[in-house]
Amino acid sequence: MVTWGPLTGDLRHWYYETSDIAPYLKEGKNVIAAAVLNYGSHPPDSRVTVQTGFLLCTDDQRNKFLNTNKKNWKAIHDKAYMPNVIDKSQVNGYYGGGSREIVDGNAPIWGWNETGFNDDDWGAAKVVERAFAKTCKWASRWKLTPRTLIHEKLTPAKFESIRIKEGLTIDGDFLSGSGEIQVPANTKARVVFDWGSEVTAYPVLKTSSGEDAVITCTYVEAPYIGDPKKKNKGNRNEVEGKNFFGYYDRFTTDGGEHRAYRPFWWRAFRYVEMTIETSNEPLVIEEYSGITSYYPFEQKAFFSLSDKKGII
């Protein structure tokens, strides 16, 4: 992944990203591809939009063949993604984070961002309109503005522990990446992962086999004692016998090898309750980890001001 965005703005400030792709290029054939998401009628409260679209423009005329237009670019609607619209069955109180994801693994276009992918059945991209800088006199619905904040720092990381496991076996040291979780066919299983503290991260799920297995990942800060409506969490370090109540992503596997799923945006959680229901084929979970997302902070100095009355 080279970049992501755009930075949250408004209709008068449509922020864009600037990236140097040179470090990612390899000798020979390369592919530049993008996944474009529109939350439709269920966006995060902070996300405003005009219309689904994607723009790429190079700063060197010698590379203008990379610019988005109906000649150079192809596109297709990935029908695997459906919204999990958040309601009171998943949250207590106010929620403004937008819908979560329900993904049918039998429908995604696997390998779309790899060299050698056959895109013969993709259609030419359609031009919506020309976009201009916000300072330009020409009219455009997209008031293009350079990004004003640095990017969040993305760091691969792992869960601290597995707190509950039911109906499955763990071979090796799964959390360190040297093992796997095996779920038999026609089985309902459950496993609770503990990050150790609250985190904002992109969860990464990798599976093999297990055609038509349904994996639901529920994200919680801490589980509840009894009815979640009573909002009693007790000791947040204790999980046994508690109710894991929260929003979720759901992924149905297609039985392919080394399938990887990561939601479009980060999730906030400490615990993840993963429930698995397999069909006629056993499922292998090869990895479940995270990519933390934080704005970097660098403390470069510490100082204090003082006067006759003491430290300020």
What pLDDT is stored for residue 1 in this prediction? Answer: 85
Residue with tokens 């994801």: 101
Q: Give 106-109's long-range contacts (Cβ < 8 A, gap of 24+).
A: 106/80, 106/212, 106/252, 106/254, 107/78, 107/79, 107/80, 108/78, 108/80, 108/254, 109/76, 109/78, 109/80
Q: What is the pTM of this model?
A: 0.90
The architecture of the domain spanning 78-110+152-297 is Sandwich (2.60)
C-alpha to C-alpha distance for 142 and 128, rounded to whole angstroms: 11
β pairing state of 306-307 and 283-294? unpaired
What pLDDT is stored for residue 301 in this prediction? Answer: 78
What pLDDT is stored for residue 309 in this prediction? Answer: 60
User: Sign of torsion, CA 104 251 46 35?
Assistant: negative
What pLDDT is stored for residue 238 in this prediction? Answer: 97
What pLDDT is stored for residue 137 in this prediction? Answer: 83
What pLDDT is stored for residue 6 in this prediction? Answer: 87
Query: pLDDT tens digit string along 204-215?
Result: 999 999 999 999
Block mean pLDDT (10 aa), the chain, length 312:
87 90 94 91 85 90 92 93 94 92 93 92 91 85 90 94 97 94 98 97 97 98 96 96 97 96 95 98 98 86 64 51
What pLDDT is stored for residue 308 in this prediction? Answer: 58
Specify the domain boundaries for CATH 2.60.120.260 within the chain: 78-110+152-297
Residue type, 152: E
Query: pLDDT tens digit string along 262-282?
Result: 999 999 999 999 999 999 999
Give the HSE-up count for residue 67: Cα atoms under 13 Å, Cβ half-sphere: 13
What pLDDT is stored for residue 259 in this prediction? Answer: 95
C-alpha to C-alpha distance for 266 and 201, rounded to whole angstroms: 5
